[in-house]
Structure 1
Amino acid sequence: MPKNQQRVIPRLKPVPYTLTDVSTTLKQPQLTPAVKLNQITLYNTPDLPNNKRGFKYQPCRPNHYLHSKMYSTTDLPPYGVHWSYFDRSSEMYVSENLLIAGTLEEFGWRSTRSNIAIREGRCYVEYKIVNGIDVNNENNEINLNDRNEQKTQKPHVRIGLGRREGSLEAPVGFDGYSYGIRDVKGEIVHLSKRTDIGGVDLCVGDVIGLLIELPTMELQKEISKKMILQKTLSDPIDKEIKEKDLKLLDNTLINKGIERDMIPIKYKGEMFFEEYEYTESKAMEHLLNPVTVFGERAISDKERFKPATLPGSSITLFVNGKKKCVPFEKLYAFLPPASEQKMTKSDKKGKTDFSIDVDDGSLGYYPMVSSFCGGAVEINSSNDPWIMPEDLEEKINIGEIKMYGRKFNDKVVQDVVVDLIDDAINKYLDRKEIELEN
């Protein structure tokens, strides 16, 4: 393209940092006591921005080695995998080390996700029920006053996995973005449908393990290629991709890899990256409620939407080290176009077409728990299981199956690499702008 016809897409550039920003030491945010459950104090974090309104946040800091980007991704203590500071309901509270999450006694279902996604491979996650069904106390009921009538409610929990788009004001398993295990009879839940698998109640002290198996990112990208070329959100037809079609993928996540569009902001004196969040799509929303409304009538759909799935993917349930079953198989795909950021994809009339969004590295399945009326759950952040499953011991010891606690180091490496790539891209765009101005 001739120079006089070239153009540079307008970019939001970061505001230069100050000496005060450079000298600021990262510290754990203020913790405000909210509730005490089983002698464990849970806290609120009022000085942090919650992921909402289509935006998400993560800590950042000035970095003089990144000449154009100027800020690098970082984390807040305690360092490691834990329940997220940002990705949880505002009425879901955490322990000082962020390993236990729960609600107040008067709250209904609230949820939280962990801070690091599982994107590929085999990973084992452990949860421990801290407050919930108590086999030693059948009367562990919480008294609630509602319209001057005395009611009783027992604390409950649900455990599972969820994607970024899943609701945090509803229990895991509520929608198509999450897969849950109930504490009552160990029932499984997906799309709000409960299935009895012949289990028993999951009680206080029980250790629940989930083995997550996902295909490689290479295979997942092949699925995304076919979905993009066939313009479908369901399983694509398995046919060979022609060479001429590859040009249509030039500007998609397939060739770009991880791509982030975030800007540093200040919130209550601290620095955070703000970025568009992945939001619920109309197709997945319709999956939860498959009806079409005509005036005052709602008619069930004859042909229901079936989201694209990941071949070979599954969730295997372990209770106190014993394998119970494989409650979920063929998990839904999460790479675009299966996930989208609505805020960035709309035409002048506000209508959203079939969109091919970016993969910013946060897509995947997250350990997720839900609490009801004082329920609480702890996540294992270590590199070793609390209870080693006999079926998995050899594969865990040789690293064929990774403990979830090891994901933190992988995330640090990914953030450093992507920060360097982002800075290199920004430097290139800066040079192009200067050339065109001259």
Structure 2
Amino acid sequence: MAKKQRVIPRLKPVPYTLADLSTSLRQPQLVPATVINNGRSQIQLYSTPDLPNNKRGFKYVPCRPNPYLDSVLYSTTDLPPYGVRWSYFDRSPEMFVDQNMTFVGTQESDGWRSTRASVGIREGSWYIEYRIISGIGEMENGDNFERQTSELSRSVTPMHSNISIASHVRLGIARREASLEAPVGFDGYGYGIRDISCEKVHLSRRSEIKEGDNVYCNDDLKIGDVVGLLVELPDMKTQTKIASSMIDRKTLADPHLETDPGDGIGHSSTNQHSFIEKGIEREMIPIKYKSELFFEEYEYTSSKSMEHLLNPVTVFGERAIPDKEKFQPAKLPNSSITLFVNGKRKGVPFENLFAFLPPASEQRMARSASKPSSKKNREEESFIVDRDDGELGYYPMVSSFRGGVVEINASGEVWQKPEELKEKLAKGAVRPYGDRVKYKVVEEYVYDLVDNAVNKYLDRKEYALQ
């Protein structure tokens, strides 16, 4: 007698109503929060209190009813203004935006807060531009500011001598796990550029941008400066091979994979049931929040190994024991960030960025929900590879301090084209970040269709075995 196959019923979405079907998408309510005076103009910034924030291991994506998707019932969508912009959901509650969602900043009384853009980068060469709207500027009397050498003066905006009203910004890129309550570059998930002396920051360690003995950039980034970041990442085939090697070796550390690893992908039992074989896999539940529809998903959260990278100690009671071996995360070969200021090259502050595909990224909340266990069991949990939901990658991320404001270039045109990139931009070898949304829209259409096909298959299997 054949053994009866066990099928776990999937969680069915709640059917939408006619009112949901006829509701049009509109920009969320913008509530005036603060006015920033950068010495040249006043900038009105708003909060968005009627939206859920990404936190506690969950993230949110707008969705809408879709009669053509007869199993999942809903499809991903976006909110106006359409295109790349600062995220409605993926920012600190104390980070405020303008009406076009291209300016972001804090109140003059707030400390460091951060926000990420709405669309991430997974592979290829992309050029991101920021313009500093409020931050370091000239002194109010117009005289040039001569930098002091004391530690106190390094934290004071040149246009002010009072530390209580200093405004600063940091610019960079980061993964989804990077903290939004700290500046970009605070942890191992982000890479940042400081406005003071244009220093690079990673793992809370700042240093000059050098190539050989040459210091490329030691001037402050000031109001009006356009900062460009050329982000180069290897193709997904290369990244998948790195992830496959990590899975085969059951390690979260660098598997020491060569740049040209060949065309073989591991075939361990863990690998066969991971995203390597499954591809993009999403688990999204449609919910209503203040009468609006959103997908609720599991978010990627910081891992213990990456936390040890920032603070390499293990705490036993009141004792902190330094780690004997320092954790070395997997890196992406031929990846880099090249810095440009006002169209001029200022060196390569970062190379060999950390890998982001699982197991380098973890969804610990998803594990707890699928297999509840005691704290002891969780600590002893065997090597697990989480899903790739298509949202992993590096996102434009900026941080503001006491009234700092940054604008992102959301258009498909470059504000200030570096001479060495003109030909690559013309040929499409390097693309403006504003074009990334076109690819993102197509990706989400495909993911929606795949999700619906997979769930229809599971529905049939469940019905046949009842």
TM-score (norm 1): 0.95
Q: Deviation of residue 398 (structure 1)?
A: 1.0
Alignment partner, residue 354 of structure 2 = 332
Runs of 5+ consecutive residues of structure 1 not aligned to the other structure: 144-150
Alignment partner, residue 212 of structure 1 = 231
Alignment partner, residue 272 of structure 1 = 294
Runs of 5+ consecutive residues of structure 2 not aligned to the other structure: 146-157, 210-214
* Further displaced range: 275-284 or 299-308: 299-308
Q: Within 2, Cα distance between the matches of 1:349 and 1:304?
A: 28
Q: Map 1:414-429 to 2 at 5 A.
A: 414-429=443-458
Structure 1 residue 203 corresponds to structure 2 residue 202: no
Residue aligned with 1:326, SS: coil
Indicate how the Cα distance of structure 1 residues 390 and 206 shifts in structure 2: closer, same or farther if over 3 A, else same: same
Alignment partner, residue 392 of structure 2 = 363
Indicate how the Cα distance of structure 1 residues 244 and 358 shifts in structure 2: closer, same or farther if over 3 A, else same: closer
**Equivalent residue for 1:189, pick from 201, 207, 213:** 201
Residue aligned with 2:393, SS: coil
Q: Deviation of residue 251 (structure 1)?
A: 1.6
Per-residue CA deviations over 1:138-166 (Å, capped at 9, x if unaligned) read: 663397xxxxxxx6331000000000000
Q: Within 2, Cα distance between the matches of 1:296 and 1:249?
A: 40
Structure 1 residue 397 corresponds to structure 2 residue 426: yes
Alignment partner, residue 31 of structure 1 = 30
Q: Deviation of residue 218 (structure 1)?
A: 0.6
Query: How many corresponding residue pairs?
Result: 429
Is residue 129–residue 408 contact of structure 2 (8 Å, CA) maintained in 1?
A: yes
Alignment partner, residue 88 of structure 1 = 91
Is residue 259–residue 358 contact of structure 1 (8 Å, CA) maintained in 2?
A: yes
Q: Within 2, Cα distance between the matches of 1:17 and 1:293?
A: 50
Q: Deviation of residue 355 (structure 1)?
A: 1.6
Q: Deviation of residue 353 (structure 1)?
A: 3.4
Alignment partner, residue 48 of structure 1 = 51
Q: Within 2, Cα distance between the matches of 1:318 and 1:252?
A: 39
Q: Deviation of residue 343 (structure 1)?
A: 0.8
Q: Within 2, Cα distance between the matches of 1:246 and 1:349?
A: 28
1:411 maps to amino acid: K
Is residue 174–residue 192 contact of structure 1 (8 Å, CA) maintained in 2?
A: yes
**Equivalent residue for 1:221, pick from 235, 240, 243:** 240
Structure 1 residue 166 corresponds to structure 2 residue 166: no
Q: Deviation of residue 36 (structure 1)?
A: 1.2
1:405 maps to amino acid: G
Alignment partner, residue 300 of structure 1 = 322
Q: Within 2, Cα distance between the matches of 1:244 and 1:406?
A: 34
Q: Within 1, Cα distance between the matches of 2:20 and 2:161?
A: 46
Indicate how the Cα distance of structure 1 residues 398 and 173 shifts in structure 2: closer, same or farther if over 3 A, else same: same
Q: Within 1, Cα distance between the matches of 2:267 and 2:89?
A: 40
Q: Map 1:131-150 to 2 at 5 A.
A: 131-135=134-138, 137=140, 140-141=159-160
Is residue 194–residue 201 contact of structure 2 (8 Å, CA) maintained in 1?
A: yes
**Equivalent residue for 2:303, pick from 278, 281, 288:** 281
Per-residue CA deviations over 1:59-87 (Å, capped at 9, x if unaligned) read: 00000000001000000000000000000
Alignment partner, residue 344 of structure 2 = 322
Q: Deviation of residue 193 (structure 1)?
A: 0.3
Residue aligned with 2:348, SS: strand
**Equivalent residue for 2:410, pick from 364, 381, 384:** 381
Structure 1 residue 349 corresponds to structure 2 residue 367: no
Alignment partner, residue 233 of structure 1 = 252
Alignment partner, residue 146 of structure 1 = none
Is residue 226–residue 241 contact of structure 1 (8 Å, CA) maintained in 2?
A: no
Q: Within 1, Cα distance between the matches of 2:446 and 2:265?
A: 30
Q: Within 2, Cα distance between the matches of 1:30 and 1:293?
A: 45
Q: For the aligned residues, what is the CA RMSD?
A: 1.7
Indicate how the Cα distance of structure 1 residues 243 and 180 shifts in structure 2: closer, same or farther if over 3 A, else same: closer
Q: Deviation of residue 11 (structure 1)?
A: 1.7
**Equivalent residue for 1:124, pick from 121, 124, 127:** 127
Residue aligned with 2:110, SS: coil
Per-residue CA deviations over 1:271-325 (Å, capped at 9, x if unaligned) read: 0000000000000011110012233222322310010000000000000000001
